[in-house]
């Protein structure tokens, strides 16, 4: 099968080996004579793969199951935007606004209580990550978005939050690099960018933080409901969680250090072109230190050239989904963990060709 060179920001490319394993499991899981989609989520076979996926998550993060618990829930990161404050916003919370998804998280938190936007890059169209932020020492938690898919910015260094619990939306860069995950009290991530398909959301919670949760949230919106039931209060996203499990095995086989090195190399193929031809390929991120490894964003001299670039990239090399988000326009290449190196090399080659023909 000929694969399209898919630079989609999500749902995004998955490892070919994971797709192959999944195709078999969809037909017959481990010789049971039934699909992984047909198994009871309460069967011993499905429970074993589910628990293994939870354990692998903590292994990759270097976290102890005595201190942290793992959930696989529905609703995407968008549900977490409201679920988080409904559980943990007692008096006030601090949020850093670095883009579209952070803005949506802020909007939902404001329905619940006092939400302080302590820093924002909105005035510069979210082209940088705010630094040297003064947080409120009495905040219930501090929320950041580690990578911004639309604007192509990312945190290289975590902010110092003191003793205040740090919470993060890591949907688009989780497991793209090693991190000190113990710095976080809660992490959530929609799977469809870096660890699996759409339909399942990973939530990792520090147990001591969970102990501070409010008891007034509706049953399905209480983290404790799902923790107490081992993520099985209701039927979880069974197939999607299976794919996450296989993707985690693929990441573990490489190690996060190797994954990061590969991601840096891929991103630099494109960033080096921006730096070599800044009048033609105009990178949108203001500070190079804030450049994302996952979502590379740029503009061409005119919208007409951008349309031409997109059409020729598809016609010549089968490259898809290079158009920027509708809210900002321009161009975007999402090069998540599973994006092959040769795809990025092909894109870089085409960018050189296109520049020479159209400058």
Smallest CA-to-CA distance from 250 within 30, 12, 20, 26 is with 20
Neighbours of 273 (CB within 10 A): 21
Residue 193 known to be catalytic: yes
Smallest CA-to-CA distance from 227 within 212, 244, 241, 210 is with 210
What gap in Å lies between CA 293 and CA 269, rounded to an integer?
A: 11
What gap in Å lies between CA 166 and CA 69, rounded to an integer?
A: 16
Residue 201: what are its φ and ψ, rounded to 5°?
Answer: -125, 130
Residue 214 known to be catalytic: no
Q: Find the catalytic residue in 169, 250, 266, 298.
A: 169
Give residue 30's region: left, alpha or beta (phi > 0; psi -120 to 50): left
Cis peptide before 336 (omega within 30 of 0): no
* Token pair of 198 as six digits: 């759409």
Residue 169 known to be catalytic: yes
Q: Find the catalytic residue in 193, 206, 222, 266.
A: 193
What gap in Å lies between CA 124 and CA 107, rounded to an integer?
A: 20
Q: Find the catalytic residue in 101, 250, 298, 343.
A: 101
Residues serving a catalytic function are 101, 169, 193
């Amino acid at each position: 099968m000929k694969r399209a060179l898919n630079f989609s920001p999500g749902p995004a490319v998955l490892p070919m080996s994971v797709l192959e394993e999944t195709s078999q499991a969809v037909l017959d899981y481990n010789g049971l004579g039934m699909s992984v989609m047909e198994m009871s989520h309460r069967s011993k076979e499905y429970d074993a793969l589910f628990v293994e996926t939870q354990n692998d998550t903590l292994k990759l993060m270097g976290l102890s199951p005595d201190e942290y618990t793992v959930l696989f829930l529905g609703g995407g990161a968008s549900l977490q935007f409201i679920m988080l404050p409904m559980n943990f916003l007692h008096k006030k919370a601090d949020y850093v606004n670095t883009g579209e998804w952070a803005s949506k998280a802020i909007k939902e938190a404001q329905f619940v209580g006092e939400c302080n936007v302590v820093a924002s890059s909105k005035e510069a169209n979210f082209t940088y990550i705010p630094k040297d932020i003064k947080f409120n020492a009495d905040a219930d938690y501090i929320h950041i978005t580690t990578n911004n898919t639309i604007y192509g910015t990312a945190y290289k260094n975590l902010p110092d939050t003191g003793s205040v619990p740090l919470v993060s939306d890591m949907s688009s860069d989780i497991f793209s690099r090693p991190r000190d995950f113990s710095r976080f009290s809660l992490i959530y991530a929609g799977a469809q960018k870096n660890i699996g398909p759409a339909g399942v959301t990973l939530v990792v919670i520090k147990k001591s933080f969970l102990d501070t949760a409010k008891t007034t949230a509706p049953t399905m919106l209480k983290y404790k409901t799902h923790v107490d039931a081992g993520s099985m209060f209701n039927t979880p996203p069974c197939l999607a969680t299976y794919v996450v499990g296989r993707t985690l095995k693929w990441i573990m086989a490489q190690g996060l250090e190797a994954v990061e090195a590969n991601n840096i190399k891929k991103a630099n193929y494109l960033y080096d072109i921006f730096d070599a031809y800044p009048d033609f390929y105009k990178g949108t991120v203001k500070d190079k230190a804030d450049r994302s490894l996952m979502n590379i964003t740029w503009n061409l001299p005119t919208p007409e050239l951008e349309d031409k670039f997109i059409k020729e990239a598809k016609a010549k090399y089968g490259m898809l989904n290079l158009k920027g988000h509708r809210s900002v326009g321009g161009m975007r290449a999402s090069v998540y963990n599973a994006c092959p190196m040769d795809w990025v090399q092909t894109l870089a080659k085409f960018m050189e060709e296109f520049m020479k023909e159209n400058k």
